[in-house]
A and B are shown apart, each in its own frame.
Chain A
Amino acid sequence: MSLIFEHFNHWVVVILMMIGLYIVITANNLVKKVVGLNIFQSAVFLMYITMGKVVGGTAPILAEGVTQYSNPLPHVLILTAIVVGVATTAVGLSLVLRIKSAYGTIEENEFQNKEDVI
């Protein structure tokens, strides 16, 4: 039973990552693919934050009478990664918009066989 709790977070990370991968592979619509990529990405974030957690610790902000803090380093890495993530998502979505204006569709199977018009 304890094995389940000690690995539960890791398993959920794997499941979320695989859901993201599945959406990226099967989705026909490019916006949905971007959503899939974001889910995949957030699974990685969750992995880092899970590793930083110490049971019985608190948030890494100095406080009276606290001796055990969680690890601040993964927090720093992921905090910046989230903002960079939304910026790169915006680049991806603007590529989707350009594909829409060039081909008139963002369904993968519809523009795949069209002549290169860009």
Chain B
Amino acid sequence: MTVLIDLILLAMLVITAFRIIYIKDLFSVVMLFGIYSFLCAALFVTLDAVDVAFTEASVGAGISTVLMLSTIAITGRKEKLSLHSHTFATLIVLLTGGALIYGTFDMPLFGLADNPVHEHVAPRYIETSPTEIGLPNMVTSVLASYRGFDTFGETVVVFAAAIGVFSLLGVRGKPTELLAQEQGLTQHKVLRVVAKISIPLIILFALYVQFHGDFGPGGGFQAGVIAAAAFILYALTFSLRKAVGVVSPRFVKYLAPVGVLLYASVGLVSMLNGANFLDYNVLAADPVDGQHYGIIIIELGVGITVFSVMLGIFYAFAGQVEKANVQ
């Protein structure tokens, strides 16, 4: 049964991706890409990667769709006819694809328990992490503790991307006269009521995902994105001005490094206690308790950074759209 669902989802994925090639209307392309991401998320669930599915659903179908829509709001929704040589592209793609497919015959078969990828490191994570870290969710244990350095690096990369976007597009410190006139979807009563009901629930859910990530699927990355999505929904339905009044761009700008610094400070505290950077065992008398404290704090740091980066990027894009509308 799972295999059947898997096959159907994969086929739908290919059909969606294939349609994107030929559609010239960018609005449809972006919408199809949202569907594509959601199918990906469903596929990740059937492949047992619930944490990844969570992230893909909130990021792919949520944030990146909004960012692409705000881009085409400025750049226009029609793609002009391409002058590129399609036969040349087809030839390259077929050659590369053929070589890759030829390569898959040497790959280990799908889903066998003794594949090389399951032989090294993973058994140790699966067998000892529940007692050594004391968390049932192994993904969180690996993410936050065993590979804490990696995750720290990723958080810094997300922060760096925010710096890139802010320096390219600029982010306002405070609302300007551009935002003076009232906007938002004033005519759409149903949307406004539904948004009003669901926004508190989305924020509550984000907090649940943040602090329950040690025990079930979830964690700082997902929670940050979900919380940012709640504020983006608020900005889209009730005008950017109101959203900026609740969480100002200046606040978001200062909040982004706070998460990274919180993460790094946990590492420094463990160094001051005589252990290695990000070794949580020394944070409490009992190593397992220390791991708990460390993971909760660094997940909070990740959540804060991801939330503020996503919201800040949205503000930067929305500010550009407003500017284009005024002109």
A residues with a Cβ closer than 8 A to B are 5-12, 14-23, 25-32, 34-36, 38-39, 42, 45-46, 49-63, 68-91, 93-98, 100, 106-107, 109-110
Contact = CB atoms under 8 A, between A and B. Distances in A.
B161 A71 contact: no
Interface in B297-327: 306, 309-310, 313, 316-317, 320
Given A16-B17, A39-B20, A75-B49, A80 B154 contact: yes
B43 A46 contact: yes
Contacts of A30: 75
Contact of A78 (B49, B115, B162): B49
A19 B18 CA distance: 7
Contacts of B317: 90, 93-94, 97
B14 A15 contact: yes
A79 B55 contact: yes
Report the interface size class on chain B: 35 or more
Contacts of B72: 31
A65 B248 CA distance: 49
B119 to A, nearest CB: 10
Contacts of B141: 72
Given A59-B217, A80-B150, A84-B154, A5 B110 contact: yes
Interface in B142-198: 142-143, 147, 150-151, 154, 157-158, 161-162, 164-165, 168-169
A37 B241 CA distance: 33
A52 B101 contact: no
Interface in B114-156: 115, 117-118, 121-122, 125-126, 130, 136-139, 141-143, 147, 150-151, 154
